[in-house]
Structure 1
Amino acid sequence: MLQPYRELAAVPRVPALLIWASLGRLHMTGTPLAMSFLIAGWTGSYTLAGVIGAALLIGIGVSGPVRGRAADRRGAAGLVMVTGVGYGLGMIVLAFVPTWLPGSWWPVMAVGAFAVGLFNPPVIPVSRAIWPRMLSGSALNSAYTVDATLTELMYAVGPLLAAALVAAVNPEMSLVISGALAMLGAAGFARMLSVAGQSGPVATSDQAKPRRAGLFTVPGVSASLLLSFFLVAALLMVDMTIVAWARNVGEPILAGVLGAVWAVGSGIGGLVAGGLRGAPRLTRRVVLNLLGVAALVPVLPPVFDPASPWLIGLVLLFGGAAIAPAVAAANARLGELAPAERRTEAYGWLSSASTAGFAIALPTSGFLLDHGGPSVAAAGAVVMVTLGVLLAARIPAAKPEPEPVLS
């Protein structure tokens, strides 16, 4: 079971790249929680908190394919560095808007959040695109699984750190730290790309030709992107549900603790799945994810009131074990389907699909929380994963193309 991990660790620079790729996305895991507390306290509305959070994520989603295409054509290291600085500074400015303006000025915050999102550093698409250039076989599958598992661990650390800062200091400081982490993570990842020789563009025989429509004509690519949309939307709806319940009971730190428990469960599931031989079964993994999310509905208010944090934590621990395996299988499948010279662009579109899922989930979960309560919001997440199951069953398997030579 450990053999794939040994093969992975034996490749120079890969472990360091995995670590910095995870640290480079740490800021994203705590930002929704910090921003939710900040905006809900500023405006008194979860719905408006969702709208402003969605504006940030729409900006991130719009920039995703553009950043991916630029990385494919011109290289990634400099791009990651410059955008990381711009995003981090912008996030720090956003943190203080509620102290400068009254809550009725929330549209200004929404516009600013969208603008900051445009500068999000493309750590995620770049990191996912380089694994097939450096690895193959079981080591490649393990890389995607470790990548997803480390991401889940970041979802344990990020929300817990954000919640601790909210409880100990204030939401503004939590968002400031998020911006600082964005700059630090982008700088470290950019440096490792250069050290590993992965900072340049992908050389192809037709690189100078315009890249018109074609990526979405590849069978399974569109379905893979939609699958990520629904999976991410469901995950964030659950996260928002936990945040709202913790805020309602007057214990904001519980949001971070329960989020960490959820991520730990995912990490354990990912580590087990990463050591398995053979191609991952995507549909089965998404079905298990559905069961984990559905188990939350009966343990939350108003279905179960007052809810027990111990019971919620237990459900999250076991239900979370299906998250990383499902995400890893979905990411690997897209990497197999996309042409090698457009893989970063494909993962840029994946980031866009994921952030679109965030953008839909934030106001949707806010509305369901305002008008139905946590269990109703969790039921909305169940609907999202159910649609994901239907899509997963339609995505074909594919063999990866030969990798082009790097310039």
Structure 2
Amino acid sequence: MTPSYRAVLRTPHAGRTFAAALLGRLSYGMVPLALLLAVRDATGSYPAAGTVLALFGLASVLLAPARAALVDRHGPRRVLPPLAAGYAGLLVLTACVTWRPGTPPPVIGALAVAAGAGTPPLGPVMRTLWRRLLPDRELLRRAYSLDTVAEELLFVSGPLLVGLLLAAARPAGLGGPAGPAAALVAGAVLVLAGALALAAAPPVRALAGPAAGPGPGAGAEAGNEAGGEVPGTQSADGGRPERRSVEGELRRAVLASTATGLALGALDLTVAAFAEQRGQAGAVAWVLAALSAGSAVGGLGYGALRWSAPHAARLRVLATGLGTALVAAGLAPDVPVLAAAVAVAGLFVSPLITTAYLLADEGAAPGARTRAGAWVNTAFNAGSAGGTASVGLLVGSVPPALCLALGAAPALLSGLAGLLHAGLRRPGAAEAVGLR
């Protein structure tokens, strides 16, 4: 089989399974905006809407590893349907209480927290299933790249779909808070349909137990690509069995994902401040669209090419590239140049996230792969929130160039430090720089 995107989707059951996961994950692109608008219209308060959305996001992000652990322990067929039913039911209940103005914000906030706590881990489950579907590591990398790009596009198209639903709701007499509430119901329907279809997909039905076990031959290939020991194999000198450090691989992936989230969270507010300073506030959407376009191109290109370097080495190079591009973007003299520089930075985003997922997957124990992917996802979202909050305190009093540089610093420094450390560990490197 030719290792291409077509080969990925033509793998038996892959297309159907992936479509089911994407259907449910489209809800995750819709719900935040729909919830924000519904709470704003129901309470008449932007601070209340922002607080409810923040509570929803925190519950969803911080409990993601725990929900993924349930999948690892009991399998997606047992976990996804009840989680999706509870999540969808709470979204519908939230839509009901925001359909008319007057509901106290604490009531809406409690429902939002409960909904966020039960968000089904459709992304981590799909990435675990990719490994079972595709034991070939080249196809697996392409599948992860395709998955990352598709997920990013869903988060771009989700708000657009909410806008279309609101536009369609007005002629039907669903103005005011009823329109966003209807969008919440649509999000509930999507996630429930996607989760149930994913749980019923043949790769999931074929599982006798938890979903996190490796596909045929996957463990050996992942270990060989990483340049490390395969768990349970003898070391070369015949000594005790060696097992690659799960914590080390996962730590690298989580740190890289956190740094990427910090950089992108800082970028959003900085771009807004940059454009407003030049009287072009409407150009913010175009700059962020350039980021998404660059990320999609970079992700698809990354998956299409063959790479000989191990994932950890690629992660260092990609983090350095992202940080450097964002620092350079801060020096842009106008919005068009900023958009071009941000598009270049986007080329590193999807490949970096894809590599972080691959690194976490190859280092995870067979019974913890869904959880490992969830940790990478949680780290990215937490980093994004932290980057936005940090720059929010600085923007207006600090030049945008410095805001971008500060946001990009963790990615740039971690990449450079990793490259330097790797260089010093090469045979003869210590002597070359005068070390013993």
TM-score range, shorter chain: 0.7 to 0.9
Cα 1:44–1:7, aligned 2, differ >3 Å: closer, same or farther? closer
In 1, distance between residues paired with 2:272 and 2:35? 11
- With 284-293 and 353-362 compared, the bigger mean Cα shift is at 353-362
Opposite residue 16 of structure 2, the aligned amino acid is: A
After superposition, the Cα gap between the structure-2 partners of 1:363 and 1:288, relative to the gap in structure 1 and judged at 3 Å, is: same
Please list, as runs of the form range in 1=range in 2, the aligned pairs for 1:118-267 lying within 5 A after superposition: 118-135=117-134, 136-162=136-162, 171-192=180-201, 197-198=206-207, 200-202=209-211, 218-239=247-268, 259-267=288-296
Question: In structure 1, how many angstroms separate the alpha carbons of the residues matched to 2:369 and 2:421?
Answer: 17
Q: Which residue of 1 aligns with 2:45?
A: 43
For 1:384 and 1:98, the matched residues in 2 are separated by 43
C-alpha separation in 2, matches of 1:162 and 1:395: 47
SS in 2 for 1:25: helix
Shift in CA distance, 189/217, structure 1 to aligned 2, threshold 3 Å:
closer
Gap runs ≥5 in structure 2: 171-178, 214-242, 423-436
**What is the match of residue 356 of structure 1?**
382
> Hey, what's the Cα distance between the residues in 2 that align with 1:171 and 1:251?
28
Tell me, in whole angstroms, the C-alpha distance in 2 between the residues paired with 1:175 and 1:375: 38
Determine whether 1:327 maps to 2:336: no
Identify unmatched segments of 5+ residues in structure 1.
205-213, 397-407
In structure 2, the CA distance between the partners of 1:15 and 1:139, relative to structure 1 (3 Å rule), is same
Higher mean Cα deviation, 242-251 or 21-30? 242-251
- Measure, in 2, the Cα distance between the counterparts of 1:247 and 1:110: 32
Is the contact made by 1:156 and 1:259 (CA closer than 8 Å) also made in structure 2?
Answer: no
Structure 2 counterpart of 1:118, one-letter code? A
Given the alignment, which residue of 363, 385, 388 partners 2:411? 385
- Alpha-carbon distance between aligned partners in 2 of 1:141 and 1:311, rounded to the nearest angstrom: 32
Supply the distance in 2 between the matched residues of 1:193 and 1:391 (Cα, whole angstroms): 44
- With over 3 angstroms needed to count, the CA separation of the structure-2 counterparts of 1:323 and 1:167, relative to structure 1, is farther
Q: Which has the higher contact order (CA 8 A, sep 6+)?
A: 1
1:289 matched to 2:314? The reply is: no
- Pair 174,366 (structure 1): closer, same or farther in 2 beyond 3 Å: farther
Q: Using the alignment, how far apart are the partners of 2:399 and 2:165 within structure 1?
A: 26
2:302 equivalent in structure 1: 273
Helix, strand or coil: the match of 2:125?
helix
Superposition deviation, residue 117 in structure 1: 0.8
Using the aligned pairs only, state the percent identity: 27
What's the counterpart of residue 66 of structure 1? 66
Say if 2:64 and 2:378, in contact at 8 Å, map to a contact too. yes
Please state how far the C-alpha of 1:395 moved relative to its aligned partner: 10
In the superposition, the TM-score normalised over structure 1's length comes to 0.74
**Corresponding residue SS for 1:220:** helix
Q: Give yes or no for the alignment of 1:27 onto 2:44.
A: no
Cα 1:358–1:341 change in 2 (3 A) is same
Judged with a 3 Å threshold, the aligned counterparts in structure 2 of structure 1 residues 37 and 199 are, in CA distance, closer, same or farther, namely farther
Deviation at 1:337, TM superposition (A): 0.8
CA distance, structure 1, for counterparts of residue 291 and residue 381 of structure 2: 20
CA distance in 2, matches of 1:296, 1:233: 16
After alignment, is 88-97 or 195-204 more displaced? 195-204
- 2:14 counterpart residue number: 14
Q: How many residues align?
A: 375
> Secondary structure of 1:24's match?
helix
Are the equivalent residues in 2 in contact too, given 1:34–1:166 (CA < 8 A)?
no
Deviation (angstroms), 1:215 = 11
Structure with max Cα Rg: 2
The 1:59–1:33 alpha-carbon spacing in structure 2 relative to 1, beyond 3 Å, is same
Asked whether the 8 Å contact 1:58–1:355 carries over to 2, the reply is: no
The corresponding residue for 2:91 is 91
TM-score (norm 2): 0.70
Aligned to 1:347: 373
Change (3 A) 1:9 1:167: closer
Q: 1:198 to 1:388 in 2, by over 3 A?
A: farther
Deviations 1:75-110 (A, max 9, x none): 1034222222322332344455495348xx655544
Query: Aligned in 2, Cα 1:162/1:54: closer, same or farther, shift over 3 Å?
Result: same
- In angstroms, what is the RMSD of aligned CA positions? 4.2
Q: How many angstroms does 1:333 deviate by?
A: 0.7
Q: Is residue 128–residue 211 contact of structure 2 (8 Å, CA) maintained in 1? A: no
Q: Following the alignment from structure 2 to structure 1, what is the Cα–Cα distance between the partners of residues 114 and 244?
A: 27
- Structure 2 CA distance for aligned equivalents of residues 284 and 3 of structure 1: 24
Alpha-carbon shift at residue 134 of structure 1 (Å):
2.5
Counterpart Cα distance in 2 of 1:65 and 1:314: 36
Contact 1:285/1:326 (CA < 8 Å) preserved in 2? yes
Equivalent residue for 1:209? none
